[in-house]
Amino acid sequence: MSRYSTVILPYDSCVSESQLSALLAFAEQGGHVITIGYPSRDEDFAPLRMSFRDAFSTQQLDSQLHYLNPWSSWELDTMSSTLVNTAKSGLRPLLALADSLLTTDAPSTVGVYQYTMQDAITVFLVNFDYSPTTDSTRHTGSFSLTIDTVGLSDPVTAVLHSSELENPIDLPFSRSGSEITLSVPGVQYWGIIEIR
């Protein structure tokens, strides 16, 4: 891969330990890895021993890993044209786009999908951490979520709906420019956050 500056992993990709090692080595040499969703499974669809994101963090390669959220406000065909245009105009615009949409420290077993409408942002959380021993998912524990709300008039509420909550709850958040950072108490199965 040394002749390339960037590797793009498609959505829902699985990676083997040897592929992950090759991607880490590529990043150590200055290569950028763009993921469309974080891979969380190996080639046998078993959970990775270490999350994809944590593998990069452990090696201090966070700046070489970039995340594209496939369920954001722009359509998937826009993503495709962005990738094509990147080949013509350089990597920087795509990296800025990838890193500006949504960031989280949620476990890698949590799928986080953002959908932006004219007057609201909806974030879907799905916990994929299934345990065959208990025949259930393990609670994620609390995590934070930072979302760029550019284009949305000043958000004033963030509400979490979840299968384990009797009633929706307001989530506290802080604001910095157009970004808001939410404190999420975690999810057992799924959650939906509405930001208005």
Classified by CATH at the fold level, domain 103-195 comes out as Immunoglobulin-like (2.60.40)
Q: pLDDT digit string (tens) for 110-162?
A: 877 777 666 788 888 888 887 888 888 888 999 999 887 776 777 678 999 99
Q: pLDDT digit string (tens) for 45-82?
A: 777 777 777 888 888 887 777 766 554 434 344 444 44
**CA angle in degrees (0–180, nearest 5) for 114-118-123:** 20
Q: Which amino acid is at 32?
A: H
Phi, psi for 184 (deg, rounded to 5): -105, 125
The ranges assigned to domains in the chain are 6-100, 103-195
Residue owning tokens 């008039």: 153
